[in-house]
């Protein structure tokens, strides 16, 4: 009896160590019934079916991000419903009966639920019907970053397309004039740079990834200009909010310099950020065109 007990303990420890090595959680019996054995929780019993907090829904088994709260809607079916997924997060399999399409976590193959089309609940006409027990919610963690890289129209437009970015505001920073306006900044006399303030969900995207993207959507080797726009207001500069942002910015600049780039980007402690006039906000969205001097170039 003692030997059997010892072997059971050894097997349990081995299982836990294996799951940890695969970045998988040890599941409760109910979680295993749904996630591993492809079961279904009873409708209207899951903790996320009527959940409305902002954030990201991760896989309960491996913690991979799967859905964002902005894509969640009430289908009145009794289970959490999403009309979109994080790209690459979900894999589809046809059920054995050939009637429904199962969705699983692409990272660990854990069962999530099923996906349906043609129901017209939302404009995307798609419903991921997911078991709450398959999910782990991570609340939205709002942080901010400030970047200047030439005309703020293009920087704003390209950054706001990144998943995890909540908002991007065009404005002015780094000068001496109180309450600057576009006329003052564009004259180059106020000392401000055209910049953007990015509000992002740090549970979805890191400051490092945002800063990398910043260096890839403008040319950091140009001094006081960007494309045809010339002047100190068009300089390349990162305005950091804390020491961690400063360290990351300087580290990335160091990496680019080892690649042979003569980086002109300054790293400066953030001062007051002034929002630009309304007609500057979402400029390319309103015009329906693309940036003329900001093009993505992979650098990392």
- Residue 177's DSSP bridge partners are none
Residue 89 has phi, psi (to 5 degrees) of -80, -25
Angle at 101 between CA 98 and CA 105, to 5 degrees: 135
Handedness of CA 27, 33, 39, 45 (dihedral sign): negative
Active-site residue 59, yes or no?
no
Of these residues, 59, 105, 108, 151, which one is catalytic? 151
Task: State the DSSP string of the chain.
Answer: -HHHHHHHHHHHHHHHHHHHHTT-PPPPHHHHHHHTT---PPTT-STTTT---SEEEEETTT--EEEEGGGEE--SSSS-EES---TTSEEEEE-TTSSSEEEEETTT--EEEEEEES--SSTT-EEEEE-GGGEEEEE--EEEEEEEESSHHHHHHHHTTSTTEEEEEEEEES-SSSS--HHHHHTT-S--EEEEEEEEETTTS-HHHHHHHHHHSS-TT-SSEETTEESGGG-EEEEESSHHHHHHHHHHHHHHHHTT-----EEEE----EEPPGGGTTHHHHHT---SS-------
List residues with catalytic annotation: 129, 151
């Amino acid at each position: 009896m003692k030997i059997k007990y010892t072997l059971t303990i050894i097997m349990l420890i081995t299982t836990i160590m294996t799951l940890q090595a695969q970045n998988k959680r040890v599941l409760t019996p109910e979680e295993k019934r749904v996630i591993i054995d492809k079961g279904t929780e009873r409708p209207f019993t899951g903790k996320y079916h009527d959940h409305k907090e902002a954030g990201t829904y991760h896989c309960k088994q491996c913690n991979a991000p799967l859905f964002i709260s902005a894509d969640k809607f009430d289908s009145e079916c009794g289970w959490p419903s999403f009309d979109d997924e994080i790209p690459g997060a979900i894999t589809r399999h046809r059920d054995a009966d050939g009637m429904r399409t199962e969705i699983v976590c692409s990272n660990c193959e854990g069962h999530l639920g099923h996906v349906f089309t043609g129901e017209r609940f939302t404009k995307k006409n798609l419903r991921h019907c997911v078991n709450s027990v398959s999910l782990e919610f991570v609340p939205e963690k709002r942080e901010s970053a400030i970047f200047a890289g030439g005309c703020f129209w293009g920087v704003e437009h390209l950054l706001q397309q990144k998943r995890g970015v909540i908002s991007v505001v065009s404005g002015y920073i780094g000068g001496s004039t109180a309450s600057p306006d576009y006329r003052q900044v564009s004259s180059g006399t106020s000392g401000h740079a055209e910049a953007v303030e990015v509000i992002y969900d740090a549970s979805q995207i890191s400051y490092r990834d945002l800063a990398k993207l910043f260096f890839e959507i403008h040319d950091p080797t140009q001094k006081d200009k960007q494309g045809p726009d010339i002047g100190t207001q068009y300089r390349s500069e990162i305005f950091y909010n804390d020491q961690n942002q400063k360290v990351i910015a300087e580290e990335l600049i160091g990496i680019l310099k080892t690649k042979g780039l003569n980086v002109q980007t300054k790293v400066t402690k953030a001062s007051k950020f002034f929002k630009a006039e309304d007609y500057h906000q979402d400029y390319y969205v309103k015009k329906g065109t693309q940036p003329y001097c900001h093009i993505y170039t992979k650098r990392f």
